[in-house]
Amino acid sequence: MQKKMIYFDNAATSKPKPAEVLQAMQHYFENIGTSPGRSGYNLAITAGRIIMESRERIAELLGVPDPLEIVLTKNVTESLNIATWGLLEPGDAVITTAMEHNSVIRPLREREARGEISLSVVPCSPWGELDLTAMERAITPQTKAIFVQHASNVTGGIMPLEEIGAIAQRHDCLLVVDGAQSAGALPLNLANSAVDIFAFTGHKSLLGPQGTGGFYVKKDVAKQMKRFLCGGTGSRSEFETHPEFLPDKFEAGTPNTIGFAGLNAALKFLKNEGVTNIRAKEEELTAFFLTGLKSIGGIKIYGPADAKKVLPAVSFTIEGISPAEAAETLEEEFGIMTRVGLQCAPLAHRTIGTFPTGTIRFSFGYFNTQEEVQTGLLALKKITNSNR
Ligand SMILES: Cc1ncc(COP(=O)(O)O)c(C=O)c1O
């Protein structure tokens, strides 16, 4: 008999997706399959509507009134690159934190290595908590922007976005947020907030397919930004130069329409379930896991270790067993899939003191059950006991 597998790697990508996602993608493939915004026949208009509906649904989820301020990309990494390359001019200074994912750090380091910008990385505590005073102190007259994650993919720790926004506004800096982990996992209301750019990815808590993502950008900020991709948009085809208006300014080439058809269905699902309810369930699973984990000897938990202060991702190490070894046993003996190592965030691991071996990360999603989490705890108990 095939072993029942348990998926605890939702911070990497959510699995499973709602059934409606696949149905919508199949429907697109079988019945639509046309290029959006480029032709006038009915089926092309239908494809165009899918793209527009994506913008509208995302704007609603993020709490912003104008769907044209939603630019669609293929993932949060692409969105953060558009922000990094588009927003920052030679001579600008940027502030970021010591908990960032490589998708934030690498584009910034790339520009720093080219001698174009200077980068200040604000320290965080060994629990991943940001030093807000140090952040404010790091600001200079050259500081153009603060780049910060909304939540850590390593510890799940949620950053104090409001306080960071207040700092940004006090010093007239732009605020760019990596919302990879929080979009779909936390209720959001970005209208009238200090956030200038909020980057998201479709395949994590938004429950959509890989290859979908985007960013929200305030209109006046978009005006200041340069783009690095030009080409066909289906709009203003008479001109050899790329349009300046949103969202076309940052979108070139045929989009992943089948992917956005799936994301639309996922967004509809999220709306019906309610992000507040999703957050409540995921918080409950995390609290249950943390309580159990704290009762197992030989386990060290990283980050706030408080379900109210984290998204459903928990990083830990087991005394005497490497994360890689533990993950192998978890999969082979118990059918449990986890993510070990550095989780693409070496800087965060330096901060929490787990570089270079990293941690074992259990990350839960809306479709996980308490029973599965209990199975995970029992497996960890057996692993730690057999190691004594
Ligand atoms: C905090 C954070 N930022 C950025 C990313 C990159 O996401 P994507 O690969 O969808 O661009 C991830 C994904 O692991 C993440 O957790």
Atom of ligand 1 nearest to the CA of 213: 10
The mean pLDDT value for 309-319 works out to 97
Q: Whose CA is nearest to atom 13 of ligand 1?
A: 12
The mean pLDDT value for 315-342 works out to 96
pLDDT of residue 159: 98
Bond into 107 cis (ω within 30): no
pLDDT band of 385, cuts 50, 70, 90:
confident
- Calpha distance 234→255 (Å, rounded): 11
Above 70 in pLDDT, residue 367?
Answer: yes
Whether ligand 1 lies within 6 angstroms of the CB of 103 is answered as yes
Q: How far, in Å, is the centroid of ligand 1 from the Cα of 297?
A: 32
Look up residue 32 and give its DSSP letter. Answer: I
pLDDT of residue 1: 55
Cβ neighbours of 114 (radius 10 Å): 9
Q: How far, in Å, is the centroid of ligand 1 from the Cα of 238?
A: 37
Mutating to test ligand 1, I would choose from 72, 215, 344 the residue with most ligand atoms within 8 A of its C-beta, which is 344
pLDDT of residue 2: 65
Look up residue 130 and give its DSSP letter. Answer: B
Atom of ligand 1 nearest to the CA of 78: 11
Q: Whose CA is nearest to atom 16 of ligand 1?
A: 153
What are the extents of the domains in the chain? 6-17+275-382, 19-273
- Calpha distance 153→180 (Å, rounded): 8
Q: Whose CA is nearest to atom 14 of ligand 1?
A: 12
Q: Whose CA is nearest to atom 15 of ligand 1?
A: 180
Q: How far, in Å, is the centroid of ligand 1 from the Cα of 368?
A: 21
pLDDT of residue 235: 86
Tokens read off for 246: 């949103």
Look up residue 240 and give its DSSP letter. Answer: S
User: How far, in Å, are 172, 326, 374 from residue 120 at the CA level?
Assistant: 17, 36, 42
Q: Supply φ then ψ for residue 340, to 5 degrees.
A: -120, 170
Whether ligand 1 lies within 6 angstroms of the CB of 149 is answered as yes
SS3 label, residue 49: helix
Q: What is the CATH number of domain 19-273?
A: 3.40.640.10
Whether ligand 1 lies within 6 angstroms of the CB of 180 is answered as yes
Q: Is residue 48 a contact partner of residue 75, using CB atoms and an 8 Å limit?
A: no
Handedness of CA 85, 88, 92, 93 (dihedral sign): negative
Burial of 273 (0-12, 13-18, 19+ CB in 10 A): middle
For the segment 196-250, what is each residue's pLDDT rounded down to a tens digit? Answer: 999 999 999 999 999 999 999 999 999 999 998 999 888 888 888 989 999 999 9
Whether ligand 1 lies within 6 angstroms of the CB of 217 is answered as no
pLDDT of residue 187: 98
Above 80 in pLDDT, residue 324?
Answer: yes
Whether ligand 1 lies within 6 angstroms of the CB of 77 is answered as yes
Q: How far, in Å, is the centroid of ligand 1 from the Cα of 101?
A: 7
Whether ligand 1 lies within 6 angstroms of the CB of 96 is answered as no
Least confident of 169-173, 244-248, 382-386: 382-386
For the segment 330-365, what is each residue's pLDDT rounded down to a tens digit? Answer: 999 999 999 999 999 999 999 999 999 999 999 999
Look up residue 171 and give its DSSP letter. Answer: T
- Calpha distance 114→124 (Å, rounded): 26
Whether ligand 1 lies within 6 angstroms of the CB of 10 is answered as no
Q: How far, in Å, is the centroid of ligand 1 from the Cα of 264?
A: 20
* Mean confidence (pLDDT) of the chain: 96
Q: How far, in Å, is the centroid of ligand 1 from the Cα of 334?
A: 27
Cβ neighbours of 272 (radius 10 Å): 10
In the chain, what percentage of residues exceed pLDDT 70?
99
Q: Is 6-17+275-382 a CATH 3.90.1150.10 domain?
A: yes
Q: Is residue 338 a contact partner of residue 362, using CB atoms and an 8 Å limit?
A: yes
- Calpha distance 375→7 (Å, rounded): 12
- Calpha distance 299→316 (Å, rounded): 7
For the segment 80-104, what is each residue's pLDDT rounded down to a tens digit? Answer: 999 999 999 999 999 999 999 999 9
pLDDT band of 195, cuts 50, 70, 90:
very high
pLDDT of residue 344: 95
pLDDT band of 4, cuts 50, 70, 90:
confident
Q: Whose CA is nearest to atom 2 of ligand 1?
A: 180
Look up residue 9 and give its DSSP letter. Answer: B
pLDDT of residue 227: 94
pLDDT of residue 38: 79
Whether ligand 1 lies within 6 angstroms of the CB of 178 is answered as yes
For the segment 118-169, what is each residue's pLDDT rounded down to a tens digit? Answer: 999 999 999 999 999 999 999 999 999 999 999 999 999 999 999 999 999 9
Q: How far, in Å, is the centroid of ligand 1 from the Cα of 328?
A: 24
Q: How far, in Å, is the centroid of ligand 1 from the Cα of 152?
A: 10
Atom of ligand 1 nearest to the CA of 343: 14
According to DSSP, the β-strands at 213-217 and 299-302 are: unpaired
Mutating to test ligand 1, I would choose from 13, 72, 76 the residue with most ligand atoms within 8 A of its C-beta, which is 76
pLDDT band of 12, cuts 50, 70, 90:
very high
The mean pLDDT value for 311-320 works out to 97
Q: Is residue 187 a contact partner of residue 216, using CB atoms and an 8 Å limit?
A: no
Whether ligand 1 lies within 6 angstroms of the CB of 225 is answered as no
Give the torsion through C-alpha atoms of 283, 285, 287, 290, to 10 deg: -130
With a threshold of 0.95, does the pTM exceed it?
yes
Look up residue 36 and give its DSSP letter. Answer: T
* Counts of helices then strands in the chain (DSSP H, E): 12, 13
